[in-house]
């Protein structure tokens, strides 16, 4: 008869304070708690956190034994900010490249959507988890700047603002990678991630490499004058806007068909354009003329998302439009989810931009070509460049459901054709060849530059380029519009079902 012995774990008396502080609050999002626990225990975060501490510790310890302390303080500041940039502007955003795609691949995203967690809370929780880890890294590195104070030459407020700026830019870049991580194609996500990492590395190296660049950065973040202050807050506002758009794009990609995120996004875009227009009224004349450019830059991401949306509608989406009667039916042509209404929304923004351009006062001493006449050609070229990839997709890949992926591919093809055209013209010295390739919208911009400047002898004038630009925009729009018939038919059938479901309610 064998005797088995059982061992019981001893009861450990845990202090109440430890019990309350070791667990996350119930008020926090479950998605945030899940991602934070996994992220803080992950090897990628631990290696990054320990590595940056070790590198900065060794560097500052070695600087303490330097023969001269003349430029040691500045070198320490540049090194600290460079290491922070590598960690928070490159590594942390790259960790978000597959955050949502992993959930889709593991078939866990459907289970999350079935819970009380909305698509926005899922994406937002993943983003705030990575941002919290970046904040932890910055907080852990901050004491090194305190040690740097003893080496002299420290500009307290500008360097603190550099630290804050790095955190805000890191949050924005992380939002972009997390939002776009919902894209199924790993190649597209990889290209976007490598592009962000390359840009962040190049800018960080340029700032660290030269002291004058670092001084310019301190002046920019330290609000040295009114122009730099306006530029700083404009940069931060742009970063926040792009972060929101990226997160909203990711939420839209995984949201159920009954959740309409497209209509609010387009209304918010129009609201932002209205606020920007009001702000520009109080600016000097030499700045107001850039308003059409700013409007196009603000609306471009929303337009691209709108014209690449899939059409999966349910009656609950159409009900708000049906309730408004004739006004709602008219609004559905511009704000109903789907790329077919996104095409109309794009042309609405085009019309608003042209109206603003005609109403904008001319600046003094601009030159022979006024901004209004210049933008009358450049605005249709820009909008035609946005619609041209969509026209390629509608011509050759009409049955695809991955509109955004194919649109990005068409953009890459357009860019390659543009570079190839410039290469042929520059090497052959035959600039009139641009007429043959004028069906590529970006080439039209080069044609305008050639026709405007006297150092290129061409057979066409700026007026000819303007006509080509409007003709190209009309053709690209027409190609896209001709393929919307089935989509609008499907939308009207969906509205009829929604109207029939509302009829019993109205009769009661």
pLDDT digits 0-9 by tens, 41-54: 778 778 888 888 88
Banded pLDDT at 296 (limits 50, 70, 90): very high
Residues 319, 376 contacting (CB under 8 angstroms): no
What distance, in Å, lies between the first and last C-alpha atoms of the chain? 80
Report the C-alpha gap between 214 and 162 in whole angstroms.
Answer: 10
167-171, 399-403, 446-450, range with the lowest pLDDT: 399-403
Q: Over 50: is that where the pLDDT of 6 sits?
A: no
Q: Residue 4's pLDDT is what?
A: 44
| pLDDT (tens digit per residue) in 204-220 | 888 777 777 888 888 88
Backbone region of residue 365 per phi and psi (left: phi > 0; alpha: psi in -120 to 50; beta: other values) = left
Whether the predicted pLDDT of 366 surpasses 80: no
Statement: the pTM of the whole predicted model exceeds 0.75:
yes
Measured in degrees and rounded to the nearest 5, phi and psi for residue 73 equal: -60, -45
Residues 130 and 96 sit within 8 Å (Cβ to Cβ): yes
For residue 474, pLDDT beyond 60: yes
134 in Cβ contact with 170 (< 8 Å): yes
In the predicted model, what is the mean pLDDT of residues 242-270? 88
Distance from C-alpha of 402 to C-alpha of 410, rounded to nearest angstrom: 12
Statement: residue 468 has pLDDT above 50? yes
Most confidently modeled of 9-18, 53-62, 396-405, 419-428?
Answer: 419-428
CA 405 to mean position of chain CA atoms? 16
The pLDDT of residue 15 is 53
Q: Give the mean model confidence (pLDDT) for residues 163-167.
A: 91
Q: HSE-up of 305 (CA within 13 Å, CB side)?
A: 28
Q: What is the mean pLDDT of residues 221-229?
A: 86
Q: Which two tokens stand for residue 214?
A: 């670092």
CB distance 264 to 306 below 8 Å: no
> Please, what is the average pLDDT of the chain?
82
Residue 9: the pLDDT is 46
pLDDT of 30 over the 80 cut: no
Pick from 402, 353, 356: which is nearest to 379 by CA? 353
Region 342-349: mean pLDDT is: 93
* 404: enclosing H helix or E strand: helix 403-428
3 state SS of 98: coil
**What pLDDT, on the 0 to 100 scale, is given for residue 283?**
82
**Is 28 a residue whose pLDDT tops 70?**
no
pLDDT at 455 over 80: no
d(CA 408, CA 125): 27
Query: Lowest mean pLDDT: which of 62-71, 172-181, 355-364?
Result: 62-71
User: How far is the C-alpha of 227 from the C-alpha of 164, rounded, in Å?
Assistant: 20
- Count of CB atoms situated within 10 Å of the CB of 78: 20
């Amino acid at each position: 008869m064998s005797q088995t012995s059982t061992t019981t774990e001893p009861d450990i008396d845990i202090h109440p304070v430890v019990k309350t502080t070791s667990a996350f609050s119930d008020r926090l999002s479950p998605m945030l708690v899940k991602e934070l626990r996994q992220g803080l225990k992950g090897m990628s975060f631990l290696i990054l956190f320990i590595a940056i501490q070790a590198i900065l510790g060794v560097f500052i310890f070695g600087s303490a034994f330097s023969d001269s302390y003349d430029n040691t303080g500045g070198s320490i500041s540049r090194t600290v900010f460079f290491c922070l940039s590598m960690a928070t502007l490159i590594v942390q955003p790259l960790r978000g490249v597959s955050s949502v795609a992993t959930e889709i691949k593991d078939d866990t995203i459907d289970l999350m959507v079935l819970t009380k967690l909305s698509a926005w809370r899922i994406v937002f929780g993943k983003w705030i988890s990575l941002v919290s880890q970046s904040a932890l890294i910055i907080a852990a590195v901050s004491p090194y700047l305190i040690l740097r104070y003893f080496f002299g030459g420290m500009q307290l407020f500008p360097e603190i603002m550099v630290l804050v700026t790095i955190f805000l830019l890191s949050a924005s870049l992380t939002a972009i990678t997390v939002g776009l991580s919902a894209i199924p194609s790993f190649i597209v996500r990889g290209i976007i991630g490598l592009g962000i990492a390359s840009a962040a590395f190049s800018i960080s190296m340029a700032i660290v490499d030269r002291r004058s660049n670092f001084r310019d950065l301190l002046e920019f973040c330290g609000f040295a004058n009114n122009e730099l202050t306006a530029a700083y807050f404009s940069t931060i506002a742009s970063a926040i806007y792009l972060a929101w758009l990226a997160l909203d794009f990711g939420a839209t990609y995984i949201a159920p068909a009954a959740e309409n995120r497209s209509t609010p996004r387009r209304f918010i875009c129009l609201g932002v354009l209205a606020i920007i227009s009001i702000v520009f009224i109080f600016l000097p004349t030499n700045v107001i003329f850039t308003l059409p450019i700013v409007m196009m830059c603000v609306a471009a991401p929303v337009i691209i998302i709108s014209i690449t949306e899939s059409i999966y509608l349910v009656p609950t989406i159409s009900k708000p439009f049906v309730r408004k009667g004739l006004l709602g039916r008219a609004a559905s042509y511009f704000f109903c989810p789907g790329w077919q209404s996104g095409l109309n929304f794009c042309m609405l923004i085009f019309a608003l931009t042209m109206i603003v351009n005609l109403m904008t006062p001319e600046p003094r001493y601009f030159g022979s070509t006024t901004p209004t006449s210049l933008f009358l050609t450049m605005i249709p070229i820009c909008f035609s460049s946005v619609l041209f990839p969509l026209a390629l997709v509608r011509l050759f890949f009409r049955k695809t459901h991955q509109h955004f992926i194919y649109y990005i591919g068409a953009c890459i093809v357009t860019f390659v054709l543009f570079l190839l055209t410039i290469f042929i013209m520059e090497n052959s010295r035959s600039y009139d060849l641009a007429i043959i390739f004028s069906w590529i919208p970006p080439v039209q911009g080069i044609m305008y530059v050639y026709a405007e400047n006297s150092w290129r002898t061409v057979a066409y004038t700026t007026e000819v380029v303007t006509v080509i630009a409007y003709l190209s925009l009309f053709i690209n729009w027409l190609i896209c519009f001709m393929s919307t018939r089935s989509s609008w038919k499907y939308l009207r059938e969906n509205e009829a079902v929604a109207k029939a479901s509302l009829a019993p309610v109205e009769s009661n």
